[in-house]
Structure 1
Amino acid sequence: MAPQAATTRDAPELGAQVDMTGTRRFPLWLFTVWILTRALLLLFVFRVFVFPGPDVTTDVSVIYHGWYETLSAGTFPHDDVTWQYPPAAALAILSPALLPFLDYAQAFYVLALLADLAVLCLLRYAGGRPGRTVRGAWLWTAGVALLGPTVYARYDVMVTAVAVAALLAGAGRPRLMGALTAFGALLKVWPVLLLAGAASRRAWYSAAATAGGLALLFGLTAPGSFAFLTAQRDRGTEVESMGSLVFHVARHFGWKGQVLLNYGSVEFLGPYVDWVSTVALALTVTAFGWLLLWRVRVRRLPPHALADAAFVAVLLFTVTSRVISPQYLVWLVGLAAVCLCRRGSRMTLPAGLVLAACLATVLEFPVCFANVVASDRLGIALLLARNGLLLLATVTAARQLWRDTVSGPPPTLPPRTARAEESLAPS
């Protein structure tokens, strides 16, 4: 009986060891689903199968490739109105040179796949630590699959990989987070919003130093590095944006504007468009004001608030923008996935709404984009669904962040989870 009692007494410890081993093992189902869905995306971008709607790969094969030729000559395409990106974007456009045995488009798709895989591995690693969960890795796998081949035909997945790495580093390595955030911002601006919830001054100092150093380097060595700052000044209202719904409906009541390809996207141009664009800008300023108010009023910043605040900030600036391109959803899925890696995050519902918006997005672009451009009932319905989901996600996420960090009582966590959260708190 004594040996049997000893075995029973040791069972919990043995079980704990088995559980820890299981958290470090890459889940077979997750990896299988990722491989199957990504193989399908590659088949679409390589044109083995034809995805419904306009060809999303022309951005890579025509526009990116054209920029590649200009950048390879040592200058930025500042005379091209479609170049609207910070200087580090040149690194993403030039990156297919790393795979010289493939043609430009093929190499770009392979690198986009590798960036996608990097995000998955980061989320899985983070999700296997104490107090964490693999929900984020599953959300990323599902969200990218729902968005379709557009993900691999834009460089946003590469930017998102940098942003995810920055947020996951933020808990214990604020200097690394700051450096990665600055690099991401010089790739496509929006990652600067990752600092919204950064409590450590070291993250801010590191971001400022990195951004300043890289900006100086680009400014001295590459003509036209910062021409993007004025490139979007004369843009209209893009047909997929929140404000575009005004003109989609107005076209049925005699509005005399046009839908034209302008600054690299399909936009509304005509009477009152500048008014709607001004309102969008005012709403963006209001969103920035809300974020400032939140930072002033914040009473506590639990570890999960870093990712939650970044998610809310990017949601706010997405829904108030004059442009909501399909690839913007890649950013939101990546940030939502980081939020869901922590058990204490309050972003489960907003993340689910963003996931639903991914499905609505692939339906409005590219599948039914002709309906959107024509402002017919189906096109308007799809835009209402997608933009409504994003707006609901924004309001819900902002409300949850405020309650979690400003107005509500501190969350009560089980002792083991609380200890794990404390061990991962920002330094």
Structure 2
Amino acid sequence: MDTKGAGRSLAWLAAVWVASRAVLLLTVFKVITVAGPDVTSDVSVIYRGWYEVLRQGTFPLDDVTWQYPPAAALAVLSPGLLPFLDYTDAFFVLCCLTDLAVLALLVRHGRGPGRSPRGAWLWTAAVPLLGPTVYARYDVMVTALAVAALLVAARHPRVFGVLTALGALVKVWPALLLTGSFRRRPWASAAVTASGLAALFAVSMPGAFAFLTFQRDRGTEVESLGALVFHLARHFGWEGQVLLNYGSIEFLGPWVGVVSTAALVLTGAAFGWLVLWRLRVVRTDELTLPEAAFTAVLLFTVTSRVISPQYLVWLTGLAAVCLTHRASRMTAPALMVAVASLVTLLEFPIGFIHVVTSDWYGVTLMVVRNGLLVAASLTAGRRLWRATVSPAPLASAPAAAESPVSS
């Protein structure tokens, strides 16, 4: 693309981002009303309550809805950086600025030979499809850390490890970014950073790891893949309940424990597949690291007992990194995630009452959304395997493992 054409493309990208984010801000500031439950109450009530507790130098020890690693405190406390704004307003503004920072990183990385602006366009177009939830949760901040980590990995493997560890201590899932890293430096820097920060939190703030005990006795969240069993079973006399449990709307009752256990088994199977993939890899390239991360997070998302709307922000960010490479093999799964984001908005918040009551409209939305995520996971896994694993003996595997582009 010539300079003039590139300039026009960038101008269009900026215009679409500004327009779509203006709408998002208008929704979270309630100038524009979105049907369904108020998604901003998590910030104005829950986050704000945690903020007051964290300011006292302790974690919310008695609040079972605090289910996050210790560095999540940094995200919850971040609105304090804008003391001239109310907590809730400051949180929304910071999320928007973080969104912009991700776009800037993707635009910069999408330039040059072999690169593509598709990643920036995917981020710009897909994020607003989730509606106000994007700015009413701190997941966009975690996603920014993950995107930055993947984009610096090739040149700065130790920085990649540090950012990955920090992200994992904010919301666990960024640890999966290491899936496609075959060199020691990122793993070592991640281990040192995670250990150091965890020790610092444990010593300085009581209850840093209390969140580990708050995951027990959870049911199956109504938007998860396993929940489809109970959505359908309710039409045939299943006698369970839908209740607010541990901070989310879950199914509780007969057979829920079995389905929840099955979800854990599927997660274990996904982990096993990823281990097998690493053992079988014989060739890598610059696409391997982001595509393995995208695939891993997809697999762990679809097998989780919880598939909250904000999880789609993670997947969009990782997919966008993949698409900054012109030769990316993840175009189809990325588009599936984008469509799943739109369906997610239709089911939460707009149609959440239909999901909670398991009427046929709600069930259809969940089948379509989760079906798209399953299809994206299987497609991504198949393409990653075909691109990196050979049916030949593993004689060349050690050489591939030392490839600097997979750092």
Q: TM-score scaled to structure 2, two decimals?
A: 0.95
Q: Unaligned regions of 5+ residues in structure 1, if any?
A: 1-17, 410-422
Query: Who is 2:228 aligned against?
Result: 245
Separation in structure 2 between the aligned mates of residue 299 and residue 230 of structure 1, nearest angstrom: 40
**Structure 2 SS opposite 1:425:** helix
RMSD between aligned alpha carbons? 1.6
Separation in structure 2 between the aligned mates of residue 424 and residue 120 of structure 1, nearest angstrom: 26
**Of 292, 306, 310, the match for 2:275:** 292
Separation in structure 2 between the aligned mates of residue 224 and residue 388 of structure 1, nearest angstrom: 38
User: Are the counterparts in 1 of residues 114 and 326 from structure 2 also a CA contact under 8 Å?
Assistant: yes
User: Are the counterparts in 2 of residues 364 and 382 from structure 1 also a CA contact under 8 Å?
Assistant: yes
Deviations 1:82-129, CA, capped at 9 Å, x for gaps: 000000000000000100111000000000001100110000000013
Cα 1:385–1:375, aligned 2, differ >3 Å: closer, same or farther? Answer: same
Query: Who is 2:207 aligned against?
Result: 224
**Structure 2 SS opposite 1:268:** strand
Code of the residue aligned with 1:69 in structure 2: it is E
Code of the residue aligned with 2:50 in structure 1: it is W
**Of 358, 364, 368, the match for 1:381:** 364
TM-superposed deviation, 1:335: 0.3
**Structure 1 SS opposite 2:35:** coil
1:234 has 2:217 as partner:
yes
Q: Unaligned regions of 5+ residues in structure 2, if any?
A: 393-402
TM-superposed deviation, 1:24: 8.1
Query: Who is 1:179 aligned against?
Result: 162
Separation in structure 2 between the aligned mates of residue 78 and residue 142 of structure 1, nearest angstrom: 39
TM-superposed deviation, 1:426: 4.5
Query: Who is 1:349 aligned against?
Result: 332
Deviations 1:31-59, CA, capped at 9 Å, x for gaps: 00000000000000001111111110000
Query: Who is 2:399 aligned against?
Result: none
Separation in structure 1 between the aligned mates of residue 184 and residue 112 of structure 2, nearest angstrom: 26
**Of 76, 85, 106, the match for 2:89:** 106
Separation in structure 2 between the aligned mates of residue 129 and residue 338 of structure 1, nearest angstrom: 15
Cα 1:115–1:106, aligned 2, differ >3 Å: closer, same or farther? Answer: same
Cα 1:123–1:24, aligned 2, differ >3 Å: closer, same or farther? Answer: farther
Code of the residue aligned with 1:304 in structure 2: it is L
Separation in structure 1 between the aligned mates of residue 275 and residue 326 of structure 2, nearest angstrom: 26
Query: Who is 2:19 aligned against?
Result: 36
Query: Who is 2:126 aligned against?
Result: 143
TM-superposed deviation, 1:227: 1.0
1:59 has 2:42 as partner:
yes
Separation in structure 2 between the aligned mates of residue 22 and residue 296 of structure 1, nearest angstrom: 44
1:254 has 2:249 as partner:
no
Deviations 1:171-223, CA, capped at 9 Å, x for gaps: 12110100000000000000000000012211101100100110110011010
**Structure 1 SS opposite 2:31:** coil
**Of 350, 353, 363, the match for 1:367:** 350
1:401 has 2:384 as partner:
yes
1:71 has 2:54 as partner:
yes
Query: Who is 2:400 aligned against?
Result: none
Cα 1:317–1:426, aligned 2, differ >3 Å: closer, same or farther? Answer: closer
Aligned residue-pair number: 397
**Structure 2 SS opposite 1:37:** helix
Deviations 1:363-410, CA, capped at 9 Å, x for gaps: 01000000000000000000000000000000000000000000389x
Code of the residue aligned with 2:405 in structure 1: it is A
User: Are the counterparts in 2 of residues 76 and 225 from structure 1 also a CA contact under 8 Å?
Assistant: yes
Structure showing greater radius of gyration is: 1
**Structure 2 SS opposite 1:259:** strand
User: Are the counterparts in 1 of residues 284 and 405 from structure 2 also a CA contact under 8 Å?
Assistant: no
**Of 21, 33, 41, the match for 1:50:** 33
User: Are the counterparts in 1 of residues 277 and 385 from structure 2 also a CA contact under 8 Å?
Assistant: yes
User: Are the counterparts in 1 of residues 290 and 322 from structure 2 also a CA contact under 8 Å?
Assistant: yes
**Structure 2 SS opposite 1:54:** coil
Separation in structure 2 between the aligned mates of residue 424 and residue 219 of structure 1, nearest angstrom: 35
Code of the residue aligned with 2:162 in structure 1: it is A
Code of the residue aligned with 2:134 in structure 1: it is V
1:121 has 2:121 as partner:
no
% same residue: 68
Separation in structure 2 between the aligned mates of residue 288 and residue 326 of structure 1, nearest angstrom: 23
User: Are the counterparts in 1 of residues 231 and 363 from structure 2 also a CA contact under 8 Å?
Assistant: yes
**Of 288, 300, 317, the match for 2:300:** 317
Separation in structure 1 between the aligned mates of residue 52 and residue 301 of structure 2, nearest angstrom: 31
> Which shows bigger deviation, 228-237 or 303-312?
228-237
**Structure 1 SS opposite 2:405:** coil
Query: Who is 2:405 aligned against?
Result: 425
TM-superposed deviation, 1:22: 6.3
Deviations 1:217-236, CA, capped at 9 Å, x for gaps: 00110100011122111110
Q: TM-score scaled to structure 1, two decimals?
A: 0.91
Query: Who is 1:152 aligned against?
Result: 135
Deviations 1:331-360, CA, capped at 9 Å, x for gaps: 000000000001222000000100110011
Separation in structure 2 between the aligned mates of residue 426 and residue 261 of structure 1, nearest angstrom: 43
**Structure 2 SS opposite 1:67:** helix
Deviations 1:263-291, CA, capped at 9 Å, x for gaps: 10000000000000000000001100000
1:195 has 2:181 as partner:
no
> Which shows bigger deviation, 240-249 or 227-236?
227-236
Cα 1:253–1:120, aligned 2, differ >3 Å: closer, same or farther? Answer: same
Query: Who is 1:334 aligned against?
Result: 317
> Which shows bigger deviation, 228-237 or 64-73?
228-237
Query: Who is 1:3 aligned against?
Result: none
Separation in structure 2 between the aligned mates of residue 26 and residue 205 of structure 1, nearest angstrom: 40
